[in-house]
Structure 1
């Protein structure tokens, strides 16, 4: 696919590039979910040097799924991710944060070829003051996992 069809988004100290092999629906979902994440203001001179580039090749939408499904779907999706590529995972089950964090940490301590770096681990909460949610899921757990070389 040509690079022109790839979408680039700047969020949480990273320039995030969405792969052209993601469907249009996935790219739209990811773009709207990334909008929920906080941005960091940068001096225009520092943007190029302060941001790392993430190439998102896969997406796991675990919203509404109970533990351990978001983690299991993440493990399956990581099979299609190669070194240097990232997987974007969203979940609404609070246990997902501990599960996915521990899974990535465990990969770094094992002798396996897959070394997973948890680049983004953010929680967004969009409940209003009266307790009603403006969205279907008020609390969303965001993860961007990058597969890196273990050497």
Structure 2
């Protein structure tokens, strides 16, 4: 279970990433953020976001029309 959940459903790029970036800043190192999104582009966006920021993409899955991501704050 994630420490915090961000509901980004209905938002299009780049809003889910921007909201996740802000939420991650509020988490301690090692904390996890679950993001719920409906934008299909968010799959590649969150993979790239984690690669460039050094945060860990713990989970990337799909539940119906909702994409679920869990990111661990590592820096």
TM-score (norm 1): 0.47
- Equivalent of 2:21, from 66, 70, 75? 75
What is the aligned length?
75
Q: Distance in 2 between matches of 1:63 and 1:141?
A: 9
- Gapped regions of structure 2 (runs ≥ 5): none
User: Hey, which bits of structure 1, 4+ residues long, moved more than 4 A?
Assistant: none
Query: Match for residue 60 of structure 2?
Result: 121
Structure 1 unaligned blocks of 5 or more: 1-15, 17-55, 109-115, 126-138
Query: Following TM superposition, by how much is the alpha carbon of 1:57 offset from its aligned partner in structure 2, in angstroms?
Result: 2.4
Match of 1:104, SS state, is helix
- Which has the larger Rg? 1
Distance 2:70 2:40 in 1: 16
How far off its partner does 1:60 sit? 1.1
User: Larger relative contact order (C-alpha < 8 A, sep ≥ 6)?
Assistant: 2
